[in-house]
Amino acid sequence: MMAMKNEAACCEHCAEKTNFEIVDDDAGGGLSRRLLICGAVVFAAGMVFEFAGGAWWGGAVRLVVFLAAYILVGGEILLGAARGIGRGHVFDENFLMAVASIGAFAIGEMPEGVAVMLFYRIGEAFEDRAVDHSTRAISALMEVRPEHAYVLVDGARVETDPKSVAVGSLISVRPGERVPLDGIVRDGISSLDTSALTGESMPRRVEAGDEALAGAVNTSGLLTIEVTRPFGESAVAKILKLVQEAGSHKAPAENFITKFARYYTPIVVVCAVILAFIPPLFIDGAVFSDWVQRALIFLVISCPCALVISIPLSYFGGIGGASRQGVLVKGGNHLETLARVDTVVFDKTGTLTKGKIRVSGVYPAAGVTESELLRLAAAAEQASTHPIAQAIIGFAREKGFEIPLATDVSEAAGRGAIAFVDGRAVNQNGLQSDRIEIRAGSERLLAEAGIALPEESATQEGAGTACHISIGDRYAGSIRLVDELRPDSKSTTSALRAAGVRKLYMLTGDNAPAAAAVADEIGLDGYFAGLLPHQKVEQLEALAAARTAQNEKPIIAFVGDGINDAPVLARADIGIAMGGIGSDAAIEAADAVIMADEPSRLATAIRVAKKTHAIVLQNIVFALGVKGVLLILGALGLANMWMAVFGDVGVAAICVLNSLRALRN
């Protein structure tokens, strides 16, 4: 049986089922179940004698049988109540059950006293199984933790702790083994099952030169992998950190239930004491034992377990359900926010598009050759890791062009790159200086040096991104690059609207024509192009302010994938990192992570969040409603102990069953 730790003060016994730190609690589970079964058998025999016993049944015999059943069934509860009192946690559920059942024995209602304990224990066992079922989605993620790494030393496989393996080491991964560390495949061909990391159901083929992520399972061939990151920075370490932290971020409803139970439980105990002792003093003909029984029934009904267990369990189930779809949500509070999202803002490159940019055209200015334009652009971009820079460099190399050596290379954030090359590398007439400045980037980058684009460059505008190049103080031409849409980007917008999202926007550093092409193709409500990282934050705030001015209260989600998206991810009401095994900065700033490169999974996560929110509200209304009615009936003497047991165990069981629906998508 799985159990979970917690330090709640008011209903500790219930709440310890609903924390995210999973521990194995099966050591004493077998004995506990055997005692429960024995107690149930003795109780059943006692009930048979109760209805059909002869003259011998009654008095001491009846007391011994039901007392034996009571101790077998409820001994753990009595010990738990004693431990709670010793720690100062008096008003927990163990205490309420102990007082109610002992009181029932005291007034001669022994079968009811045993029944309170028996059905409570049965309900508790049922709740434990429900919690166990709910934790499987999360515990499945915990199973991606690699236990061993096999380092190649002089050709031999040496078992090592993954945390002690150095970057650059070669590790061997056989079929069926889990990849222990992030790395590059150096030898072998195989398929990797990455479902635990990304939610992808289809294995991914890898060969020499491909990346292999920690936590993936090797399904076929033998692989030799060169480690590129230490264990603490690996994909699996990031996932484990997210899972461990998920329980520390509680939703408003969870915090409400915690505060509610802290005050509610002592209040109902005081009310039960008043109900037992005050009315007999003022009502003529009142029988003290009748009012004590009402008070005991009142206590059993009042237990807040249905809420204390089911509300956190609902969020736990929702987080687990989202994780099954490849979306890790960092806590119940973020899941609650996700349920209320009405505006989604996307980054473009790497989020709605594949981020694999390729050169689609080269347009040299008069007097400049295609070779010269490509070589100098690649020289300026050679120190940059930006996808545009890498696409230009790769294209120049594919053409077989020699890239000149550049000096004093610098990047202008969001605008491009500036570098200097030897004048002899430039073939234009009259340019024989020792150092020629090369600029490669946006129109703005060239404008900063006083270089205007010629009119004919406008005819080259269209879908894609233009990288403009200048040589010295002259415009040299442009290189057009395109980035393909992700296959599910179109379906993402329709799925989000179906999930209740009202507005969809895009913020991008790309030029307006490229942004317009993407926005029109997938059906966005608007876009903002040519933005630097800090301007994305400003634009997001402007969107929120505009909606607020219209007396709306927008909840805005931003979806991005790179380091430059970290500021706006942090600023949004909920930030969602796309392809979360990529940028560390994006993961750190985000509140949720889409592990696969599929933006459509956001719509699934929103549906899970909305369903979880609805389940939480259903449980709160149902539990408080039923308990409220039964408490009134109990105080009026119209409810018996069996109804009280339903009011506690039955309501809790129904709420727990309802909570489990959050796991199903």
Question: Is residue 58 included in any domain, yes or no?
Answer: yes
Question: Is residue 603 in a domain?
Answer: no
pLDDT of residue 144: 60
Query: Does one domain contain both 547 and 649?
Result: no
Is residue 153 included in any domain, yes or no? yes
- Residue 521: Cβ within 10 Å count: 14
pLDDT at 139 over 90: no
CATH number of the CATH domain containing 165: 2.70.150.10
- On the question of pLDDT at 5 being above 50, the answer is no
Q: What is the mean pLDDT of residues 353-363?
A: 84
**Same-domain check for residues 239 and 158:** yes
Residue 602, in any domain of the structure: no
Determine whether 347 is an active site residue. Answer: yes
Confidence of residue 292 (pLDDT cuts 50, 70, 90): confident
In a domain, residue 468? The reply is: yes
**Residue in the structure block whose two tokens are 């149930």:** 40
Which range has the top average pLDDT, 388-392, 400-404, 495-499? 495-499
CB 540 within 8 A of CB 345: yes
On whether both 492 and 427 belong to a single domain, the answer is no
Segment holding 423, helix H or strand E: none
How many CB atoms neighbour CB 255 within 10 A? Answer: 13
Q: What secondary structure, in 3-state letters, does 81-125 show?
A: HHHHHHCCCCCCHHHHHHHHHHHHHHCCCHHHHHHHHHHHHHHHH
Number of domains in the chain: 4
For residue 601, being part of any structural domain is answered with no
Q: How confident is the model at residue 112 (pLDDT cuts 50, 70, 90)?
A: confident
* Residue among 92, 128, 347, 483 flagged as catalytic: 347
CA dist., res. 109 & res. 509, Å (int): 76
Most confident of 65-74, 379-388, 426-435, 546-555: 65-74
Whole-number pLDDT of residue 341: 94
Position 575, amino acid: G
DSSP secondary structure string for all residues of 19-56 = -S-EEE--TTHHHHHHHHHHHHHHHHHHHHHHHH--TT
pLDDT beyond 50 at 7: no
Tell whether 176 and 114 lie within a shared domain: no
pLDDT band of residue 15 (cuts 50, 70, 90) is very low
> Are 379 and 347 within one domain?
no
Where is the domain boundary, 564, 595, 626?
Answer: 595
Q: What is the pTM of this model?
A: 0.67
pLDDT in tens, 425-481: 665 544 455 788 999 988 888 999 899 888 766 545 555 678 899 998 899 999 988
pLDDT over 90, % of the chain: 23
Question: How confident is the model at residue 11, as a pLDDT?
Answer: 47
Residue 289 has pLDDT above 80, yes or no: yes
pLDDT digits (tens, 9 = 90+) for 543-582: 888 888 777 788 999 998 765 677 888 888 998 988 655 4
Same domain, yes or no, for 238 and 250? Answer: no
Buried (b) or exposed (e) across 496-520, using 16+ Cβ within 10 A? bbebebebbbbbbbbbeebbbbbbe
Regarding whether 331 and 313 lie in a shared domain, the answer is no
pLDDT in tens, 590-644: 788 887 778 999 999 999 999 999 999 999 899 889 988 998 998 888 888 778 8
Mean pLDDT of 232-246: 63
Q: Is 600 inside a domain boundary? A: no
Q: What is the pLDDT of residue 510?
A: 76
Q: Sorting pLDDT into bands at 50, 70 and 90, what band is 12?
A: very low
Same domain, 84 and 198: no
**Count of CB atoms situated within 10 Å of the CB of 282:** 7
pLDDT of the residue at 21: 46
CB contact at 8 A, 502 and 342: yes
Helix (H, G, I), strand (E, B) or coil at 481: strand
pLDDT (mean) for 242-249: 54
In terms of residue numbers, what domain contains 362? 358-482
Average pLDDT (479-491) is: 87
497 lies in a domain?
yes
DSSP 265-302: HHHHHHHHHHHHHSHHHHSTT--HHHHHHHHHHHHHHH
What pLDDT, on a 0 to 100 scale, did the predictor assign at position 94?
Answer: 77
Q: Which of 482, 497, 532 is the last residue of a domain?
A: 482
Average pLDDT over the chain reads 81
CATH classification at residue 591: 3.40.50.1000
Domain identity same for 101 and 178: no
Do 416 and 477 lie in one domain? The reply is yes
Residue 523 sits in the same domain as residue 382: no
Domain boundary, last residue among 461, 482, 503: 482
Q: Supply 209's token pair.
A: 């030169």
Residues 396, 471, single domain; the answer is yes
Residue 8, pLDDT > 50, answer: no
